[in-house]
Amino acid sequence: MSVLLIAGSPTEHSRSATLLDGVAERLHAAVDDRRLRVERLRIRDLSPQALLLADWGHASVVRAIEQVANARALVIATPVYKAAYSGVLKVFLDLLPQTALKGKAVLPIATGGSPHHMLALDYALRPVLQSLGARHILPGVYASDAQIPKDEAGDYQIGGEIAQRLDDATHTLLQEGLRLSAVPVPRPVPFSQALYSV
Ligand SMILES: Cc1cc2nc3c(=O)[nH]c(=O)nc-3n(C[C@H](O)[C@H](O)[C@H](O)COP(=O)(O)O)c2cc1C
């Protein structure tokens, strides 16, 4: 069984993609990789020409559509652009077959410069996911830029409130979207921290 994480920002160093990393981390911690494969798709890595000119036959597009078809659930992250979702995500969704999301669960995620456009997920993205046949669209996660600040090294950090929302959303994805119970994955204990009894 696999879940596909789709990054819908055209930006390389991306806040919305940082939230996807947060979901990936939580999925890896909750479920053994043998029970759930976590795959990724960055729309910005696909051929821009193929996306813009709707070239369904382009190898990168064929592969991406296959990834969607093979996934049991999707997590789709996008920045808010002009009160909606990103254009690159739109051109990719336009290339999907009409029933591409049939039977699949989807967790939508968005980041925006201000909190005012938090409903963009509901009024802009949700209807499109529904039209593609998604079985279960989970409650989305929205974060403003201030909730994902940069640290001193320039890396985005997920603030406490959003971290909690990602915990809840990942839990709901596993339980309701994938019907998987979380079994914490045992992590290797460093030798220096090992406890012995004699
Ligand atoms: C072209 C463009 C349009 C934007 N439009 C909005 C908007 O309408 N509302 C908003 O809250 N933020 C808007 N923003 C800010 C981004 O949504 C925000 O910075 C987001 O976190 C960027 O995500 P990313 O780093 O994953 O690309 C816009 C940014 C750009 C570049």
Residues 11-31: pLDDT tens digits?
A: 999 999 999 999 999 999 999
18 CB less than 6 Å from ligand 1? no
> Measured in angstroms, how far is the CA atom of residue 85 from the centroid of ligand 1?
9
pLDDT at 183: 66
Ligand 1 atom at minimal distance to the Cα of residue 156: 25
Q: What is the pTM of this model?
A: 0.92
Question: Which pLDDT value is given to residue 67?
Answer: 98
The whole-number average pLDDT for the span 134-155 is 96
Domain positions in the chain are 2-193
Give residue 157's identity as a one-letter amino acid code. Q
Nearest C-alpha to atom 30 of ligand 1 is from which residue?
81
Condensed to tens digits (0 to 9), the pLDDT of residues 44-102 reads 999 999 999 999 999 999 999 999 999 999 999 999 999 999 999 999 999 999 999 99
Return the ligand 1 atom nearest residue 145 CA: 21
Mean pLDDT of 136-162: 96
From 81, 125, 147, 157, mutation site for ligand 1 pocket: most ligand atoms within 8 A of C-beta: 81
Q: Which fold has domain 2-193?
A: Rossmann fold (3.40.50)
Give the Å distances, CA to CA, from 181 to 30, 104, 113, 114.
8, 18, 35, 35
The alpha carbon of 144 and the centre of ligand 1 are apart by a number of angstroms equal to 9
